[in-house]
Amino acid sequence: MKLKLMAACALAVLACAAPAAAQPKPTAADAKAFVTNAEAQLDKVNAFANRAQWVRANFITEDTQWLEAKANAEQNELVTRLATEAAKFNGVATDPVTARKLKLLKLYLVSPAPNRPGAAEELAGLVTKLDSTYSSGKFPYKGKPITLNDAEAVMAESRDPAELKAVWEGWHGTAKVMKGDYARFAALSNEGAVGLGFKDTGALWRSNYDMDPDAFAAETDRLWTQVEPFYKNLHCYVRARLNEKYGDAVQPKTGPIRADLLGNMWAQTWGKIYDVVQPKTVSSSYNLDKLLQDNGYDPVKIVKTGEGFYSSLGYAPLPQTFWERSLIVRPKDREVVCHASAWDLDDKNDIRIKMCTKVDGEDFRTVHHELGHNYYQRAYQAQPTLFRNGANDGFHEAIGDFAALSASTPTYLNQIGLLQTVPGADEDIPFLLKMALDKIAFLPFGLMVDRWRWEVFAGEVKPEQYNDAWWALRLKYQGLVPPGPRPADAFDPGAKYHVAGNTPYTRYFLAHIYQFQFHRAACAQAGWKGPLHRCSVYGQKAVGEKFEKMMALGQSQPWPQTLAVFSGETRTDASAVAEYFKPLDAWLKVQNKGQQCGW
């Protein structure tokens, strides 16, 4: 062996030179220089990736999918390399800002690629393919192919259980082709997360909340415990009304609810069946869908109204480029990703939304929500690259939801001239029930989507168990069952955009709690004396100024400190949810007397 080594040295003297001197240990100055350089590289690669993603989402073709996959692969490869290099500064005593940037660099990607040739390209290709498969999905119905948008309209409007079942099964059937790709994606993502020092991708996601991953999981359990009793009261009431409507053969009086009867493809919100479950003794004097239509609203006017809410808080108008470059109405000539989203393409002022806006109350609130992302993005644009994000991802969702809470009130509808008279307290129960059918009904779904993925990433659920595990969680948290037996090859998780589109979902659960904390704090600052559910902060510039200070911090410090800037609180707390809905919870308990609640 020694002779072979000497012979090799004779042929390649440089390769066998004396060992290099030990490298000096990296310093705090080295760490600071590294993150500065890393941010410059991220700015460059993100600028291209953002536009590639925008073009693919607005023009779904083979070519745009290829372009996005290439851009995503380059982005993933760069961040994976930078995150790996950041590890060499472990143990280096750096300043707090640099230390936080090094930490966030490791958490930058939702799904990092393995650090080996070809892995980033394969992962990016899978991510783009899954997203595009979902977004271009169609299934035959009444002799013609229909899109998810068409199917959602049937789910919202039909009261024929056979029709609901057919449309529900049709859309969920489009996802089964994704199962193999999703399993491969999960394996690659896990490999990349392990390479960065995380247990798996789920642990990486849970590490993004300024606490230990297991502690964060326990924190979500605590929050669910706070709201679960109210959800079960709502479930009990809605099940009884569905039983009255459809009879025992369709919806039994006890046990879980059939998932396709709740007006939404995923039964994540139930507001579309308000006509079925509305109180028998008092009705609402207005319908927001009808108000919008009767007052000549179109999709652009809805977005202009949303902008007006933020302007009333003292924020600058949206740039002209927003109106020129946003997608506000579904085009008729091409496939697009209709799932509503907000975009910041240049970390400066090129902010946009992309949604196929309908003239109804749901999209009226959605516009206020999506614009919240844009105003948040604008507020923290002066932060360094690695701090240009929400305090945590739940904050990013909650900012717009906070605005939508005000925008949902008859107080606000009166302030903007949509409603001539604010109803009296006798209409509080109808109003709160409508809100609960969306806000409270959502909470268990917001929790269980990532619970399923955490189990998948942890290896606790194998591909052949994907669907059974999904429905086990839906039963556990939501008390729901599918309308009939599911096929052996079903992949129902993939029928939800955020699974196919690889978007973490616990953020929405958190947002449904943060928004009420923000709302309670804002109403107190505005001097509101009435019930919390009637408060609108429209026109409250002092509230807007203080809210801006919180938003401007981005992700520059741990989120509890940022929360305290506006609300004075340092912990996520669902007591504001309970306060908002207190009259309804008491009413539900009376309605449910004699019922066998739970499932």
**Token pair of 78 as six digits:** 């760069």
- Three-state DSSP at 409 gives coil
Neighbour tally for 8: CB within 10 Å: 11
Neighbour tally for 419: CB within 10 Å: 19
Backbone angles phi, psi at 440, to 5 degrees: -75, -40
CA nearest to 510, candidates 395, 381, 355: 395
**Token pair of 396 as six digits:** 């990013």
Q: Are 329 and 357 in contact (CB under 8 A)?
A: yes
CA nearest to 573, candidates 206, 217, 226, 211: 226
CA nearest to 177, candidates 133, 142, 239: 133
Neighbour tally for 213: CB within 10 Å: 19
| DSSP annotation string for 217-235 | HHHHHHHHHHHHHHHHHHH
Alpha carbons 42 and 452: distance in angstroms, whole number: 31
**Token pair of 232 as six digits:** 């079960």
The b/e string for 242-281 (b: 16+ C-beta within 10 A; e otherwise) is bbebbeeebbeeeebbbbbbbbbbbbbbbbbbbebbbeee
- The verdict on whether 324 is a catalytic residue reads no
Active-site hit among 152, 307, 370, 455: 370
Active-site hit among 172, 339, 396, 498: 498
Q: Are 504 and 205 in contact (CB under 8 A)?
A: yes
- The verdict on whether 74 is a catalytic residue reads no
Alpha carbons 277 and 192: distance in angstroms, whole number: 47
**Token pair of 159 as six digits:** 């009261």
The b/e string for 443-477 (b: 16+ C-beta within 10 A; e otherwise) is bbbbbbbbbbbbbbbeeebeeeebbebbbebbbeb
CA angle 477, 483, 484 (to 5 degrees): 110
Which residues are part of the catalytic machinery?
A: 370, 498
